[in-house]
Amino acid sequence: MADTVVFAVGGDQLHVLLVRRANAPFAGAWALPGGFVEPGESPEDAARRELLEETGVTVRALDQIGAYGDPGRDPRGPTLSVVHRGLLPELVDVQAGTDAAAAAFLPVRQALARNTELAFDHRRILSDAVDGLRADIEQCSIATALCPPRFTLSQLRRVYEAVWGHVIDAPNFRRKVLMTEGYVVPLGRTAAPGPDGGKPAHLYRAGKRVTLTPPLYRHSAH
Amino acid sequence: MADTVVFAVGGDQLHVLLVRRANAPFAGAWALPGGFVEPGESPEDAARRELLEETGVTVRALDQIGAYGDPGRDPRGPTLSVVHRGLLPELVDVQAGTDAAAAAFLPVRQALARNTELAFDHRRILSDAVDGLRADIEQCSIATALCPPRFTLSQLRRVYEAVWGHVIDAPNFRRKVLMTEGYVVPLGRTAAPGPDGGKPAHLYRAGKRVTLTPPLYRHSAH
DNA sequence: ACAAAAGTGTTGGACTTACACCCATGC
DNA sequence: GCATGGGTGTAAGTCCAACACTTTTGT
């Protein structure tokens, strides 16, 4: 099998893309989009296909984050699921596929809440995926994948704050990001200020660097 | 499928456990021990069973480090291999199984050398596994799994040096390890000095901590 | 006494953090 | 003017790399 965890940031909260299952087992429960790998497909191909079929969503890149093969994870019989992670720059519109009752972005906090039922071992998978994202964002430049093509440093900072769940000192964040050569590339332009006014911010795009050395530490602020 | 990368340190060099294939495809080439998952097995169970069958080796813990499902990785047809990593405290004796011409620990440097033929995509898998080990040893307490139950800090340091491939300042290493609460636990005893004399070192055992905060940085010495 | 390995002390520099302060825009 | 968010400056503290130095053993 191939399941996918798609993250996006919206409203200062980290969201995950889920589908509501129409059929047994776990009918009515939320689940990660996914399905079976067809002959000739790589697991990543299958993940991308199932994601499109079930939610209408396409992602630029999918990274493998683990394989879950515990016997008993599926009541229908032993299966092995290769799980990939995708990142989107915004909460895009979602269209539920034929075998899904619904598809939507849920805040991760809500998806992992006690009263939300997740199918199979998807609670465990999602929990691992969140931990992995929090770690990777510290060491790698993947945070730009959660931003639009052109973004301000405040937008990038809000991605970190949403993923880590705490505020970051803006001046220090700015210095760290700009000091890390190749992380972001300045564009000449400046963005329009927000609805509350404020100084217009410079625009940047993602650079070519993939590893952040030194990392952006996720110490709790204050 | 389930393949396994077993690491051990010997003679100041990181070694990996390989089997020499007796049958086609890739007859005569080195390969990671592994095989097919049988019904009712988890991939980890299968990895442990195949490891024992092919090499006679048992490991305490196996950690999943990835799944490789590129169509074409096996000339016989599409397969998916879940790869696990095992760590041993020493170069144990190895017994080749029935369908292997030989089984042995090879220095990683030699296994990844140009003139060593590795079956399937096992060069890629091994390369990824080495990168992962170098990263994990920095953040987690897994280095103790490459040491005997009781070890000196010099032994632990030599593990890091073998994995990273460069020397580490012994005094600073000592401070970092002892400062990280729960990483190692002092035993009352002291070890016998080496053949060249020297002051006898204190003995330690692994503690309960799994994550190293702050990490042991792998900066090149000098 | 000498070599070798374990272990302690110390100093300079790099980096982080926290916070004060200035700039530009909308209302 | 004032609030809001962008951006700069800076001082205190922390941490690490480097290396000098002491301790304890075998030969």
Question: A43 to chain B: which residues are within 8 Å by CB?
Answer: 67, 69, 80
What percent of chain A clears pLDDT 90, i.e. is strictly above it? 87
Splitting chain B (222 residues) into consecutive groups of 10 residues, what average pLDDT does each group show?
97 96 95 95 96 97 96 93 98 94 97 98 98 96 98 98 96 97 93 86 97 87 52
What is the structure's pLDDT at B141? 97
Residue A221 has pLDDT above 80, yes or no: no
- The contact set of A with B (CB < 8 A) is 37, 39-44, 64, 66-67, 69-71, 78, 80, 82
Chain C positions with an atom below 7 A of a protein C-beta are 3-10, 15-20, 23-27
| Confidence bin at A131 (pLDDT 50/70/90) | very high
Which pLDDT tens digit goes with each residue over A37-54? 998 899 999 999 999 999
Q: With an 8 Å Cβ cutoff, are B43 and A67 in contact? A: yes
- Dihedral (Cα; B178, B182, B185, B186), 10-degree rounding: 30
CB–CB contact A37 B80 (8 Å): yes
> Once rounded to an integer, what is the mean pLDDT over residues A175-199?
91
pLDDT, mean of residues A108-120? 98
Interface test with B, best of A42, A70, A217 (most B CBs within 10 A): A42
Would you tell me which residues have their CB within 7 A of strand D? Answer: A 152-154, 170-172, 174, 190, 194, 196-202; B 169, 171-172, 176, 179, 193, 195, 197-200, 214, 217, 219, 221-222
> Using CB atoms, which residue from B40, B71, B82 is nearest to A67?
B82
List the beta bridge partners of residue B81.
B68
Return the closest-CA partner of residue A139 out of A218, A211, A50, A35. Answer: A211
B218 or A174: which leads in pLDDT: A174
The arithmetic mean of pLDDT across residues A152-168, rounded, is: 97
Q: Find tokens 């067809």 and name the residue.
A: A38
Q: Are B126 and B112 in contact (CB under 8 A)?
A: yes
Of the candidates B108, B8, B23, B124, the one whose C-alpha atom is nearest the C-alpha of residue B66 is: B124
**The pLDDT of residue A194:** 78
Determine the pLDDT at residue B45.
96
| 3-state class (DSSP) for residue A141 | coil
What's the pLDDT score for residue B196? 82
What is the model's pLDDT at position A145?
Answer: 98
Give backbone dihedrals phi and psi of B124, rounded to 5 degrees, phi first.
-65, -45
pLDDT of residue B222: 53
The predicted model scores a pTM of: 0.94
- How far in angstroms lies nucleotide D5's C1' from the CA of residue A159? 17
* Residue A195's pLDDT band (cuts 50, 70, 90): confident
Read off the amino acid at residue B111.
A
